[in-house]
Amino acid sequence: YFVSGTDIGKFTMKTVDDPRTINKTVHFRPPSNFLTVNELASMWEKKIGRVLPRASIPESQLLRMAK
């Protein structure tokens, strides 16, 4: 479901020489990339047959850590 790094690399290199992308921000997000990190972790858990450790951090704590 996720795009491979080599495909993103190829796309990025094509934008370098494209005059339409000069002074522009280019977003590359194919429609099939719609999994959350938790959904992706769940898929891996099914594949490997064990539970991966997860940590939930409240927004307030993240904001404190970012300062």
Does the residue 66 lie in any domain? no
Does the residue 43 lie in any domain? yes
pLDDT at 31: 62
pLDDT at 1: 43
C-alpha Rg value of the chain to the nearest Å: 18
Decide if 23 contacts 15 (C-beta within 8 A): no
Range of the domain at 15: 5-52
* Cα dist from 23 to 26, 46, 54, whole Å: 10, 43, 39
Considering its fold, how many domains does the chain have in total? 1
Does the residue 34 lie in any domain? yes
Does the residue 16 lie in any domain? yes
pLDDT at 60: 93
Write out pLDDT tens, residues 4-59.
667 778 888 888 888 998 888 877 766 666 777 888 899 999 999 999 998 888 99
Does the residue 44 lie in any domain? yes
Q: Which residue has the higher pLDDT, 67 or 27?
A: 67
Q: Which helix (H) or strand (E) holds 7?
A: helix 5-16
Model-level pTM greater than 0.85? no
pLDDT at 48: 96
